[in-house]
Amino acid sequence: MFFASLVPEGYYWARSSKHFDGKLTVVQVSTVFGEDPNYWTLALPGTDQHAMPSDFEIIGPVVLPAEYPMRQAAE
């Protein structure tokens, strides 16, 4: 998957030899350093770290199952 197709704040399945011992993990596209795609990083959920998109092989978007809708906290 090309980085140009990433969506800001989107969640993706990814793999990296530099992070998580190469295991499949979930990352979030972060715009904390700027809205321009040149400044996007990948937030590593469960940590306070960000990584460069080039450090990861993006497998595909995380898709929530339709039978388990995500509920908002106020519901």
pLDDT in tens, the chain (75 residues): 456 789 999 999 999 999 888 899 999 999 999 999 999 999 998 899 999 999 999 999 998 777 766 666 665
pTM of the predicted model, to two decimals? Answer: 0.79
Q: Which residues contact 23 (CB under 8 A, 6 or more apart)?
A: 15
User: Half-sphere exposure (CA, 13 Å, Cβ side) for 73?
Assistant: 0
Which residue is listed with tokens 């998109």? 53
Helices and strands (H, E) in the chain, number of each type: 0, 5
Amino acid present at 60: G
* Residues written for the chain: 75
Does residue 39 sit in helix, strand or coil?
helix
What pLDDT is recorded for position 70?
66
